[in-house]
């Protein structure tokens, strides 16, 4: 009886061992199949990585070739050709701004004769307009047009009389340089157009060619940074007077004109 029970137990344990061995064999076969599948797929991944690397290298070569043939822009460094110095920037004109001017002018005499007779313009109101454009961090290019109408005072032999009126218009191109945030100096060249009554010297000799070269130096002081209102002063100079040797009136050389007023605009 005991032998039969022992034989049955051995038989049962053998079946359990066979089942376990079959399971381990199946697991080993599955692992082997997965490894083979991964190994079969790995060449495609490697090939894909190789293609991507080749494409990236080709794109880099194309980009280098394009940069080598492209002309560097202003301010760029030419790194492709080995340059380390930035290209000089060209001056760029800013958006033009409009300025308005109103003030007055005082002038020296037009002419004097040997007897002391003087022909002098009286103090005159002046209005003007100006177009300005920034060309640098502290530099501005300005074109100014001003005009005025002044009376003529003629004095001689201890008396004076009214000689009529004259027009004075000047156009100037100037460069402004800002020294401090609210103070700027300017200098420019232009033309002065002067015309008066033809029966008064020097106009009867100069009305046929009333344009005269002119030069100007000036300064502007802005009252406040928040408002574009400031004081402006300018000293102008131009040649004007008699032009014939037979005329008893001699030209005084350079006529100087001081223009003072207020300016509105950036």
Residues 6 or more apart whose CB falls under 8 angstroms from that of 150 comprise 105, 107, 121, 122, 123, 124, 165, 166, 168
Count CA atoms within 13 Å of residue 225 on its CB side.
3
Q: For residue 47, what pLDDT is reported?
A: 47
Cα–Cα distance list, 236 to 158, 177, 196, 206, 214 (Å): 30, 18, 19, 19, 7
Distance of alpha carbon 236 from its chain centroid, rounded? 28
The answer to whether 234 and 214 have CB atoms below 8 angstroms apart is no
243-249 own/partner pairs: CB under 8 Å, 24+ apart: 243/202, 243/205, 243/206, 244/205, 247/201, 247/205, 248/113, 248/114, 249/111, 249/112, 249/113, 249/117, 249/119, 249/201, 249/202
Q: For residue 4, what pLDDT is reported?
A: 46
pLDDT tens, position by position, 8-59: 544 555 566 556 556 656 655 555 555 555 555 555 544 455 556 666 777 7
Q: Tell me the three state secondary structure of residue 190.
A: strand
Q: For residue 46, what pLDDT is reported?
A: 46
Residues 191, 214: Cα–Cα separation, whole Å? 5
Of 169, 170, 176, which is closest to residue 222 (Cα–Cα)? 176
- pTM, to two decimals: 0.60
Q: For residue 62, what pLDDT is reported?
A: 73
Dmax over CA atoms of the chain, in Å, equals: 172
- 97-264 fold: Lipocalin (2.40.128)
Low-confidence ranges of the chain (pLDDT < 50): 1-7, 9-10, 45-47, 78-83, 243-246
Owner of token pair 């061995």: 21
In the chain, what are the domain boundaries?
1-90, 97-264
């Amino acid at each position: 009886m005991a032998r039969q029970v022992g034989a049955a137990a051995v038989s049962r344990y053998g079946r359990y061992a066979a089942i376990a061995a079959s399971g381990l064999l199946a697991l080993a076969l599955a692992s082997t199949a997965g490894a083979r599948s991964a190994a079969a797929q790995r060449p495609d991944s490697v090939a894909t990585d190789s293609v991507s690397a080749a494409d990236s290298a080709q794109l880099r070569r194309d980009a280098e070739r394009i940069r080598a043939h492209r002309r560097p822009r202003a301010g760029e460094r030419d790194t492709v050709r080995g340059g380390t110095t930035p290209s000089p920037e060209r001056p760029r004109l800013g958006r033009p701004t409009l300025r308005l001017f109103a003030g007055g002018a005082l002038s020296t005499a037009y002419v004097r004769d040997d007897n002391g007779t003087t022909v002098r313009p009286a103090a005159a109101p002046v209005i003007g307009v100006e177009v300005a454009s920034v060309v640098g961090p502290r530099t501005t290019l300005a074109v100014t047009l001003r005009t005025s109408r002044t009376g003529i005072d003629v004095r001689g032999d201890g008396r004076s009389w009214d000689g009529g009126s004259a027009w004075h218009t000047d156009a100037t191109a100037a460069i402004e340089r800002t020294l401090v945030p609210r103070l700027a100096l300017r200098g420019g060249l232009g033309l002065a157009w002067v015309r008066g009554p033809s029966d008064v010297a020097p106009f009867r000799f100069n009305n046929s060619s009333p344009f005269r070269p002119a030069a100007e130096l000036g300064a502007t002081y802005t009252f406040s940074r928040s408002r574009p209102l400031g004081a402006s002063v300018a000293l102008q100079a131009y040649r004007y007077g008699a032009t014939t040797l037979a005329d008893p009136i001699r030209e005084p050389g350079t006529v100087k004109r001081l223009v003072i007023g207020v300016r509105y605009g950036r």
